[in-house]
Structure 1
Amino acid sequence: MRNHEIDFKIYGDDMQFVEVELDPNETVVAEAGSLMMMDQQIEMETIFGDGSGSGGGFVGKLFGAGKRLLTGESLFMTTFTNTGHDKKHVSFASPYPGKIIPMNLSENGGKIICQKDAFLAAAKGVSVGVEFQRKLGAGFFGGEGFIMQKLEGDGMAFVHAGGTIHKRELQPGEVIKVDTGCLVAMTSNVNYDIEMVKGIKTALFGGEGLFFATLRGPGTIWIQSLPFSRLASRVFAAAPQAGGQNKGEGSVLGGVFRMLDGD
């Protein structure tokens, strides 16, 4: 086994965090800014790339870190190493309501392809790279863009997604059509393409977008019920616009605010 073998426990329901248990000298790597808490003898270090050691020298590490910019991630990641003589714990929290999905890469063909921004943390040695969609249609209209993340190795990795997560096993030749933003992750043997909605009325007035993802088995897929982009658009639509009045409308405080403003 090339990757560090870590134990973990997930807490919470809709606002989850994962607690990773590290033996002496074990390391976990995480996205910058995902730390929640850690024990005293955990040593934190910022590194280029993912620390998997697959880059080959400084130039390779720089190139690997630069590729992460294409997925909208930072050049840097953070490692957490247990420098003590007994078990220590470090916890990571998801950035928005949803679920944390533990994935054992050795049980999923050693490779998982996931949407950008989904990666949270992983055992040291897991390679966090980019996956280019081979088809232009999937690239331009795939909802998550031409580039997705890929996690490679034989250790544990943790990804997060919004709402409820549904894991589904696709049989050989089985096809499922999914909203492009709802696809969280898939194994590398799943065939992924983008299909346009049929019918001009459905496309213009259906309210479901112009494209959806077509996934063909065999393989495993993970689907989220609430993509962050959908949540953000609803929050933005409900927020007061520039020059508008939305200070507690329909409440006693709303009347007070309007009196103070001279309305």
Structure 2
Amino acid sequence: MNNHEIDYKIYGDDMQFVEVELDPQETVIAEAGSLMMMEDSIRMETVFGDSSAGQGSGLMGKLLGAGKRVVTGESLFMTTFTNEGSGKKHVSFASPYPGKIIPMDLSELGGKIICQKDAFLAAAKGVSVGIELQRKLGAGFFGGEGFIMQKLEGDGMSFVHAGGTIHKKTLAPGELIRIDTGCLVAMTQDVHYDIEAVKGIKTALFGGEGLFFATLRGPGTVWVQSLPFSRLASRVFASAPQSGGSSKGEGGVGGLFNMFSDD
């Protein structure tokens, strides 16, 4: 294997974190800001890009790795955690919002996973975090994630996170499913991804599901989330107090009495 072999354990239900066990000199890479806690003798270092084995060691190689992360909307930097002690040590990483952490062994998934651009959480050192460009204009403009998605390549363990409940679906050759464009979390490289316009003017304008579906055709494996962060954020924003007033839907019976108050 080119990647470090790491063990892990996932804790929690809706607000999960993953605890990674590192043998001496083993390293895990993670998104900047995802650290929850770590034990003594673990060295933390900030690096450009993903510090994968395939990335050039010179200045141009580092700039290229950092540039790929800027294009995907991520931070310029990633963080590595290396066990410099003599025994096993543990480091934990937390999800940024309610949902699930999905462990993926890339050696069992064809060595490559394509995922939404903010899904990556952590991985064994050696996993390459790059970009995947959508080849079709329709998928690029209307696919929810734009032209750019993340790709994770290697043969080690990776961890991605998504919102709500996660459903893993295996597609047979030629089998097709349609999902909301924001609900796609990840897919194997063999899955054919495209978009499809919602049929019918009334359905498109008043159906409340957007104008386009993501169409995924097998063979391959797809991970779908029940609560995209964008949907959660829009509901929170819609319910937030406007101009300093009380939030919409708040108050119940108390709101009825407020109608008759003198204030």
Secondary structure (helix, strand or coil) at the match of 1:231 reads: helix
Secondary structure (helix, strand or coil) at the match of 1:96 reads: coil
Give the equivalent residue in structure 1 for 2:227. Answer: 226
Check if 1:116 corresponds to 2:136.
Answer: no
Percent pairwise identity:
80
Cα distance between partner residues in 2 of 1:37 and 1:83? 16
Check if 1:13 corresponds to 2:9.
Answer: no
Cα distance between partner residues in 2 of 1:208 and 1:226? 13
Give the equivalent residue in structure 1 for 2:251. Answer: 249
TM-score normalized by the length of structure 2: 0.94
Superposition pairs of residues 101-140 of structure 1, within 5 angstroms: 101-140=102-141
Give the equivalent residue in structure 2 for 1:29. Answer: 29
Give the equivalent residue in structure 1 for 2:204. Answer: 203
Unaligned 5+ runs, structure 1:
none
Unaligned 5+ runs, structure 2:
none
Cα distance between partner residues in 2 of 1:5 and 1:184? 24
Give the equivalent residue in structure 2 for 1:175. Answer: 176
| Alpha-carbon displacement from aligned partner over 1:62-104 (angstroms, at most 9, x marks no partner) | 1121111111100000000000000000000000000000000
Give the equivalent residue in structure 2 for 1:76. Answer: 77
Deviation at 1:220, TM superposition (A): 0.4
Deviation at 1:249, TM superposition (A): 3.4
- The Cα RMSD (Å) is 1.9
Give the equivalent residue in structure 1 for 2:143. Answer: 142
> What letter matches 1:85 in structure 2?
S
| Alpha-carbon displacement from aligned partner over 1:207-237 (angstroms, at most 9, x marks no partner) | 0000010000000000000000000010000
CA contact (8 A) 2:239 2:247 kept: no
> What letter matches 2:179 in structure 1?
V
Deviation at 1:55, TM superposition (A): 2.2
| Alpha-carbon displacement from aligned partner over 1:99-120 (angstroms, at most 9, x marks no partner) | 0000000000000000011000
Cα distance between partner residues in 1 of 2:222 and 2:134? 16
Q: Would the alpha carbon gap of residues 252 and 176 (structure 1) be closer, same or farther in structure 2, given more than 3 Å must change?
A: closer
TM-score normalized by the length of structure 1: 0.94
